[in-house]
Structure formats: C-alpha cells, structure tokens
C-alpha cells in the first residue's frame, strides 16, 4: 500500500514538474496569438504626469512586466520612460500587481492602484495624490530605416540566401540561429528584432538570442524589458559592459540595433595591437559610446583579424529579425 502511494506521488510530481517546465518554455511569436492572453494587453509601457517624490509635478513612466497567470511586476519611474526622461540611477519604485476579475490591482507599501482599459492609476495610501498613466507603444526612430547608399542588404524579407542555414518564416522574417555567408571588417550595421512573449519564463530563458559582431563580440538579445540593464541583459556585452540605459521594449514590439563597429588590428606576427571599438544605439538611444572591447565574449570564436561573419545566435528561443543591412567602412 505504502509503495503504491509513493509511486503515485512520484508520478504526480513528475507530471507537475513537466507541466511547469512546458509553461516556462511556451513561446508566442505571433502578436495576433498573444492578444488572446489577457495579460498581454496589460503588460507594456505607460506614461503620464503627476506628483513626483519632491512634491513637484512632472513626467512619470511605468513598465509592467507580465509574469503569467495574472501576475505582474510594476516599476514606476520618476521623470518618464527610459530614454525619454528617466536615466539610470533615477528613482525607480517596484510594486507587485495581480488580476482580480477584469481589473489588475496594484499593491505596494506606499502606492496603491489599478490597471484597466489601458490606464494605470496610482494613489498614495491616504488617496490624496493620484497619478494616471496611459498605455503607449513606442517605436524606434530608426525602425524600417532604408539601407544607406552602397549598403549590402543581408535580409529584406524576400530571401534568407545571405545566411548559412537561414530560415525565412511565413511572416517574412529571419529566424535566429544563423550566420552571414559574407565576411566583413569594420562596418555600420542596422537590424531589427522582435522578442517572443514568454511570461512564465525568466532570466536567460526568456526569449534569448544575441548578435555576434565579428563572430566573437556578443551584444545580448533577451527579453529584459523593465529590468536593471545588466551586462548579461539586452544591450549588454557579457562581463565587459552593461548598457548605459536599458532600452529593451516589451515583447513582440519591433526593436532596432544600430551599430558602428571598428575591427581590432593585428601586426604581421598576428599580435593584436589595437582593440575593437563599438558604438550602439538601441531603439535610437545611445547605450554604448565608442566603447573599447578588450576581449571576445563567450559562445563563439576567439578574437582574430577580419574579415569575419555576423552570427545571430539561436539559444533555444525563436527570436525574429528583419531589415538587416550593413555599410562597410
């Protein structure tokens, strides 16, 4: 009897564990499909004006992260949204929220509120100060940028022939996990990316990819919307430098990287004499300004003289890319 009970409990735990793992890995890449999840319409960015901590009125932003099953993590930003008033180091308040029927209720020690109908409302515990924010969907100023004069078009939605193992999706996008056939030295690169909706995933399991410049320097691609902006999150160079501001947009919103890269230099003996340098704009905002890259990042090759390919990392998730073009320097 006891043995049978143990077997039943073990089987139950295995099924439950497998179910949780499947939920965490569930990935939605189609915005139309994501709309069926009521949490998707709540998560995202909100902005408005209201009383700031110093008592003055000013811009206020909020980033709402979906955590699955009607649960949300909310960050209130004094000064506006990242790249539009709020800067790294400015006041940032975290509160939690949860769905109660048709309304998402915000519960914090110093802030109460709700999210419904595209509006986020906040009040202090006494209900004397109220802030109302509207849901917005920002667009990068370089979204759908036309190729520069003389640029090499790597992907325009018609063919994936410029990539080894490139996969052209039904949505006319390029799937992560591919490498350019052509090799390059120093260049300016434009590409657009779209992260998946994976509310129950977390950390490095949440829409993970990466752009390997010179096949060895990875700028992170990850759904780190609303997070601190560390060097292992979107826009970071792992163990080298974090982005100056976390400009990651919410899942399933098209984003841009505009990258100016200068390759490292080597002498006749193969010794490196000058480190690579890079400038990166994420969604039009400068996140790395002429940064020196002293070494490669993990996951691909070590440093070497160019020309070398560009790799769009496949990391178990289906990150989509489009409008990829490069201007040689």
Averaged over 93-105, what is the pLDDT? 94
Closest CA to 291 of 272, 273, 276, 307: 276
pTM > 0.85: yes or no: yes
Task: Give dist(CA 116, CA 101) in Å, integer.
Answer: 11
Query: Is residue 263 domain-resident?
Result: yes
Residues sharing a CB contact under 8 Å with residue 146, sequence separation 6 or more, in sequence order:
none
160 and 131 assigned to the same domain: no
Whether residue 326 has pLDDT greater than 70: yes
Whether 292 maps to a domain, the answer reads: yes
Q: Is residue 11 part of a domain?
A: no
Q: What pLDDT score does 24 carry?
A: 62
Indicate if the pLDDT at residue 324 is higher than 60: yes
**In terms of domains, do 182 and 317 share one?**
yes
Task: Give 86's contacts (C-beta < 8 A, 6+ positions apart).
Answer: 61, 77, 78, 79, 80, 92
Region 47-67 average pLDDT: 86
Which residue has tokens 């043995």?
A: 3
Q: What is the pLDDT of residue 180?
A: 98
Considering the domain architecture, whether residues 124 and 163 belong to the same structural domain is answered as: no
Q: What is the mean pLDDT of residues 299-311?
A: 96
Here the CATH number for the domain that contains residue 281 is 2.60.120.560
For residue 65, what is the domain's CATH number? Answer: 2.40.128.120
Q: What is the mean pLDDT of residues 28-51?
A: 95
Q: What is the average per-residue pLDDT within 84-101?
A: 94
Provide mean pLDDT across the span 128-143: 94
Closest residue by Cα to residue 111 from 130, 134, 139, 133: 130
pLDDT above 50: residue 77: yes
Domain count, the chain: 2
Cα–Cα distances (Å) from 142 to 44, 89, 192, 226, in that order, read: 20, 26, 9, 21
Residues 166 and 59 in one domain: no
């Amino acid at each position: 009897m006891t043995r049978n009970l143990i077997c039943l409990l073990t089987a139950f735990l295995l099924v439950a564990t497998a179910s949780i793992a499947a939920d965490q890995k569930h990935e939605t890449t189609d915005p139309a499909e994501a709309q069926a999840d009521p949490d998707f319409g709540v998560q995202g960015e909100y902005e408005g004006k209201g009383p700031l901590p110093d008592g003055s009125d000013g811009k206020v932003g909020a980033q709402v992260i979906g955590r699955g099953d009607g649960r949300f993590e909310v960050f209130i930003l004094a000064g506006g949204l990242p790249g539009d008033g709020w800067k790294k180091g400015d006041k940032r308040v975290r509160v939690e929220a949860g769905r109660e029927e048709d309304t998402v209720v915000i519960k914090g020690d110093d802030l109460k509120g709700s999210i419904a109908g595209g509006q986020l409302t906040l009040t202090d515990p006494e209900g004397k100060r109220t802030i109302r924010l509207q849901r917005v969907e920002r667009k990068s100023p370089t979204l759908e940028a036309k190729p520069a004069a003389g640029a090499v078009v790597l992907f325009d939605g018609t063919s994936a022939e410029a990539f080894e193992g490139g996969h052209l999706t039904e949505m006319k996008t390029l799937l992560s996990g591919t490498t350019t056939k052509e090799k390059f030295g120093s260049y300016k690169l434009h590409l657009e990316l779209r992260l998946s909706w994976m509310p129950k995933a977390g950390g490095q399991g949440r829409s993970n990819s990466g752009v390997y410049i010179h096949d060895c320097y990875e700028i992170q691609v990850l759904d780190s919307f609303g997070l601190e902006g560390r060097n292992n999150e979107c826009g970071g160079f792992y163990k080298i430098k974090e982005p100056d501001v976390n400009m990651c947009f919410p899942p399933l919103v098209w984003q841009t990287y505009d990258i100016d890269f200068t390759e490292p230099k080597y002498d006749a003996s193969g010794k490196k004499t000058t480190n690579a340098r890079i400038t990166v704009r994420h969604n039009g905002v400068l996140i790395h300004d002429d940064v020196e890259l002293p070494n490669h990042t993990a996951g691909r090759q070590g440093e070497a003289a160019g020309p070398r390919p560009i790799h769009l990392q496949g990391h178990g998730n289906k990150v989509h890319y489009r409008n990829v073009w490069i201007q040689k320097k």
